[in-house]
Amino acid sequence: MALPKISVPKYKLKLPSDGRTVNFRPFLVKEEKILLLATESGEQNTIVGAIKDIIKDCTDITDVEKLATFDIEFVFLQIRTKSVGESVDVSVTCPDDEETTVSISIPLDEIKVKKTRGHKKDIKISDEIAITMGYPSLETFVAMNFGEDGAGVDQVFDMAASCVETISDANQVYDCSTTPKKELIEFFDQMNSKQFMMIQDFFEKMPKLTHTVKVTNPNTGVESDVVLEGLASFFA
């Protein structure tokens, strides 16, 4: 006799980038095991694979690789919320002494994607040249969120080169999808500091998961606001 099937609830969400409605379900125990093993390994490629597989298996999204970084963060957080609990416990360092850590519980449904007013994908770096940027890939997202060394200078240039969609001048629009990354990095090397700062500003102001919490230092009694950003801040 066949054992009974356990029903799995279905939910809907809207992607922050384009408002598209997506169907999703919680991840199952077998998928949670894959995720736990991936995070315990600390290997970025393994984490990337686990996140990709979970989003593909738990949603009807067919273009996971093309999702904006903040879409990936938001979708994964929604899956996690419905899978293992409506809140997450995180440790926060008190800003007043930058030493004391406090454990707080955050309701995951309060974490939203923050969009900065005036943020644009089109960047006009001079009267003649404009650049259209895309958002980091899932692989880059994991490296920036989970990498131990953070974002060094080379990594910033590499990420910027990976995200260029087009470069245009008065005569032509250049599709950068097939342009070697080396050429794009050389293009950035020609910029002055103000121009490249516009590229950095694009990444700093792109939509991201964010949540502000109030913490009270038990040693000093000082209450402070702490802004948590990016999926890694809520990953537990």
Query: Are 159 and 198 in a shared domain?
Result: yes
Q: Which domain holds residue 235?
A: 88-110+207-236
Residue 3 lies in a domain: no
Q: Encode pLDDT of 11-42 as tens digits.
A: 999 998 888 999 999 988 888 888 888 888 87
| pLDDT score for 194 | 94
User: Which pLDDT value is given to residue 145?
Assistant: 56
Looking at the structure, tell me whether residues 35 and 140 fall in a common domain: no
Over residues 59-115, the pLDDT tens digits come to 999 888 888 888 988 998 899 888 877 788 888 999 999 999 999 988 888 888 988
CA torsion 138→225→204→59, rounded to 10°? 30
Whether 181 and 219 share a structural domain: no
Question: Tokens in use for 171?
Answer: 């005569």
Higher model confidence: residue 46 or residue 131?
131
* 14 shares its domain with 79: yes
Co-location of 124 and 150 in the same domain: yes
Percentage, residues of the chain above pLDDT 90: 41
For residue 137, the model assigns a pLDDT of 74
- From residue 61, alpha-carbon distances to 3, 28, 30, 53, 85 in Å are 30, 18, 20, 11, 23
| Residue 36, C-beta contacts closer than 8 angstroms, at least 6 positions apart | none
Same domain, 105 and 215: yes
Digit-coded pLDDT (tens) for 154-169 = 777 888 898 999 999 9
CB atoms within 10 A of CB 236: 13
Q: Is 27 exposed, middle or buried (0-12, 13-18, 19+ CB in 10 A)?
A: buried
- 1 within a domain of the structure (yes/no): no
pLDDT score, position 42? 72
Mean pLDDT throughout 121-132? 95
Q: Are 12 and 23 in contact (CB under 8 A)?
A: yes
Within the chain, strands assigned E span 11-14, 21-24, 87-93, 101-107, 112-114, 122-124, 130-133, 164-168, 173-175, 208-216, 223-229
- Rounded CA-CA distance 154/177 in Å is 20
**How does the average pLDDT of the chain come out, rounded?**
86
Instruction: Establish if 2 belongs to a structural domain.
Output: no
Q: Give me 67's structure tokens.
A: 């999702």
201 with 144, same domain: the answer is yes
Claim to verify: residue 194 and residue 221 sit in the same structural domain:
no
Residue 158 is classified by DSSP as H
Beta bridge partners, 72, equal none
In a shared domain, residues 128 and 189:
yes
Residue 15 lies in a domain: yes
Domain count, the chain: 3
Closest CA to 79 of 101, 61, 105: 61
Burial profile 100-127: b = 16 or more Cβ within 10 angstroms, e = fewer:
bebebebebeebebbeeeeeeeebebee
Strands 130-133 and 164-168 turn out to be antiparallel
Q: Can you give the pLDDT at residue 204?
A: 86
pTM of the complete model: 0.73
Asked, for residue 4, whether it belongs to a domain, the answer is no
**102 and 214 share one domain:** yes
DSSP label at residue 45: H
* Residues 77, 156, 160, 51, CA torsion sign: negative
pLDDT score at 149: 53
Average the pLDDT over 139-148 and give the result: 61
193 and 123, same structural domain? yes
